[in-house]
Amino acid sequence: MAEEKNTEVSVPELGKTAEERPKWDNKVQYLLTCIGFAVGLGNVWRFPYLCQTYGGGAFLIPYIIALIFEGIPLLHMELAIGQRLRQGSIGVWNSISPFLGGVGIGSLIVSFLVGLFYNTILAWVLWYFFHSFQDPLPWRDCPLNQNKTGYIEECAKSTPVNYFWYRETLNVTPNITDNGDLQWWMVICLASAWGIVYICFIRGIETIGKAVYVTATFPYLVLTIFLIRALTLPGATEGLVYLFTPKVQVLKDPKVWLDAATQIFFSLSLAFGGLIAFSSYNPQKNNCERDAVIVGVINSATSIYASIPIFAILGFKATSNYNDCLDGNILSITNAFNIGDQNVTRENYDSWLKHLNTTHSQELEDLHLKHCNLQEFLDQSASGTGLAFIVFTEAVIKMPGSQVWAVLFFVMLFSLGLSSMFGNLEGILTPLLDLHVVPKWLPKEAFTGLICLISFLFALIFTMGSGNYWLEIFNNYVGSLPLLIIAFFEIISVVYIYGIGRFSDDIEWMTGRRPNLYWQATWRVISPGMLLVVFLAYIVVQVQQPATYAAWNPNYINFPMTEALDYPGWVFAICILLSSVPCIFIPIVALYRFIQWIMRRVHQSQNRNPCENHAYEPELQ
């Protein structure tokens, strides 16, 4: 009965004389691609930080609740609608209603903009990867200054790791208005990143499907290796205890729930159009419900799994720093009071200190001993690029066999990011292919090459001296608010415009089972409600925060602390533009279609000839 259903939605014609719609070689490819798209850099460097900031094990509660009530329903909806309508994001929303075409265009623009800066991060990862083959690692020691009498001042004041990141990698300018030049080494790293992306993306899902066998599975292998190694490092248990100790009172803070919901939403890469594109290449009779649950659960499980080695290693780093601090103090005491060498050890340090405080308290004060506190070092965690390129690289130096660990770590980051890039680019390619904007004579290889080339040229902004600041702007303003808006419109369209009844029928036809109460409840009320609340809360939080950025300025008084500068007016205008341009297409397209509809009604009511039958047009017309 379902086969002959008369749908009013235009399903694209099959059996064109040109190629049919491409399809996945097997189900595994499809699942790995979706998992690879969802599992990205954020799983490794954002989730562990959130977990640690928001009370360790207790954070898992809002996280899992958000997954169940927001993440998986939205995921299922996107996969189902793409699979049913067999088109990319623009085509799908156009099919549901031409007034909604703007949603697809918004997804396209967001995918493009996110792809620009995401691949730049991969270029940075490549740069570190290239440098991981040196012995010793270049971020271990400060370079010598001109006349070889000491270390470069900027490096001596901060740390070699910071210097390598801010000066030798980014060559960052002191503020965003100072553009600096294009850094040639960054340009060639960016070119190689785009080259690698192109080689995997060159024929669309045909080549992506092969590439994901490696890029989606390799990170798990590396994480396991790191897990085994990390658990044997001294201080690992401190790090893990610190991470997972639940502080349940943190749950009273609404910010925790907001961050859990946003983390789930962004982690699953919803609203990019990539998931819709991937599922549109599926055969229609495919169990998308099970796929959605699998992808959602694996994504969250990966986040939790990744946080274990990360925090073991951070615990190791904190312990090393703490020991170094203690050793520095011990040396000062030994030298000042001429105590025998190695008589003061880490174990009896406290008793010595007490003893000296009673006898020579003034001299002890004059030494200005550093206050060494393990908790403080553990608190120095970071998220984002700071975790990967500063904190983790510092930890890697202290591990024996640093080069191996550095290479493994950066290759893992690269493959995590690469599989996410595939989703971004498919979110651009599939809608354009479905809109038939590509001329027939242009081979697919050339079109994908064109997309990569244009993206590369735009991404050159991020290779300038101020590139890092611009990347932060893109990350904060493009990859956040527009996605929430687009996702909200997506679910409202599917549930209320396409019709939840029709959608449930479609899913029953595709999977053989009607969606149960859980799906009905979440799709109709809970998920849109949560999205709305998250969106409003996000805006409230953003408005309250001052629009500042952290600048690396060697001439700053409190250097090596970063300087908090305000965004200049024109930069802030660009931020607002970046947030609003993808969303503005939704009302623009709706308005455009509305005007078209009105024009057509007016035109039709004026001249309607009911006897005109166009089926019998003579040939020579």
Contact 374, 317 (CB under 8 A): no
In 3-state terms, what secondary structure has residue 122? Answer: helix
Distance CA(487)–CA(240), nearest Å, equals: 35
Between 97 and 217, name the residue whose CB sits nearer to another protein.
97
501 near another protein (CB under 8 A):
no
Distance CA(112)–CA(89), nearest Å, equals: 13
Q: Which two tokens stand for residue 453?
A: 């080339």
Alpha carbon distance, N-terminus to C-terminus of the chain: 41
Contact 38, 212 (CB under 8 A): no
Residue 617 class from Cβ within 10 Å (0-12 exposed, 13-18 middle, 19+ buried)? exposed
CB of 189 to another protein, least distance (A): 8
CB of 600 to another protein, least distance (A): 9
Of these, 37, 117, 129, 242, which contacts another protein (CB under 8 A)? 129
Distance CA(76)–CA(57), nearest Å, equals: 27
Establish whether 38 is an annotated binding residue. Answer: yes
In 3-state terms, what secondary structure has residue 551? Answer: strand
Among 40-48, 369-377, 438-446, 566-574, the segment contacting another protein (CB under 8 A):
438-446
480 near another protein (CB under 8 A):
no
Q: Look at the block and give the residue holding tokens 């495919």.
A: 286
Of these, 3, 13, 20, 350, which contacts another protein (CB under 8 A)? 13
432 near another protein (CB under 8 A):
no
Establish whether 420 is an annotated binding residue. Answer: yes
Separation of CA 79 from chain center: 20
What's the number of CA atoms in the CB half-sphere (13 Å) around residue 213? 9
544 near another protein (CB under 8 A):
no
Distance CA(479)–CA(165), nearest Å, equals: 24
Of these, 1, 146, 148, 545, which contacts another protein (CB under 8 A)? 148
CB of 124 to another protein, least distance (A): 13
Between 339 and 533, name the residue whose CB sits nearer to another protein.
339
Establish whether 66 is an annotated binding residue. Answer: no
> By rule CB under 8 A, what count of residues binds another protein?
54
Nearest to 448 by CA among 463, 461, 438: 438
CA angle 407, 192, 392 (to 5 degrees): 30
Establish whether 240 is an annotated binding residue. Answer: no
Q: Residue 372's CB: how many other CB atoms inside 10 A?
A: 18
Q: Residue 309's CB: how many other CB atoms inside 10 A?
A: 26
Q: For residue 565, what are the β-bridge partners?
A: 549
Q: Residue 52's CB: how many other CB atoms inside 10 A?
A: 23
Establish whether 267 is an annotated binding residue. Answer: yes
Of these, 2, 28, 199, 539, which contacts another protein (CB under 8 A)? 199
Q: Where are the alpha helices (DSSP H) in 268-287?
A: 274-280
621 near another protein (CB under 8 A):
no
Q: Give the type of residue at 341.
A: D
Of these, 14, 20, 249, 340, which contacts another protein (CB under 8 A)? 340
615 near another protein (CB under 8 A):
yes
Of these, 47, 118, 127, 523, which contacts another protein (CB under 8 A)? 127
Report the site for another protein in 167-196 (rule: CB under 8 A): 188-189, 192, 195-196
Helix (H) or strand (E) holding 590: helix 569-606
611 near another protein (CB under 8 A):
yes
Of these, 53, 68, 141, 411, which contacts another protein (CB under 8 A)? 141
Of these, 133, 247, 370, 518, which contacts another protein (CB under 8 A)? 133
Q: Which two tokens stand for residue 208?
A: 């992506």
Of these, 198, 226, 322, 519, which contacts another protein (CB under 8 A)? 198
CB of 298 to another protein, least distance (A): 29
Between 2 and 497, name the residue whose CB sits nearer to another protein.
497
CB of 63 to another protein, least distance (A): 37
Establish whether 243 is an annotated binding residue. Answer: no
342 near another protein (CB under 8 A):
yes
Q: Residue 176's CB: how many other CB atoms inside 10 A?
A: 21
CB of 448 to another protein, least distance (A): 10
156 near another protein (CB under 8 A):
no
Distance CA(604)–CA(486), nearest Å, equals: 34
Between 57 and 443, name the residue whose CB sits nearer to another protein.
443
Nearest to 486 by CA among 88, 106, 85: 106
Of these, 339, 438, 537, 581, which contacts another protein (CB under 8 A)? 339
Contact 114, 425 (CB under 8 A): no
334 near another protein (CB under 8 A):
yes
608 near another protein (CB under 8 A):
yes
Residue ranges that bind another protein, judged by CB under 8 A: 8-10, 13, 96-99, 126-127, 129-131, 133-134, 141, 143-144, 148-150, 188-189, 192, 195-196, 198-199, 202-203, 207, 334-335, 338-342, 443-445, 497-498, 601, 604, 608-615, 619
Summarize the annotated binding site for Na(+) as residue ranges: 36, 38-39, 43, 267, 299, 416, 420
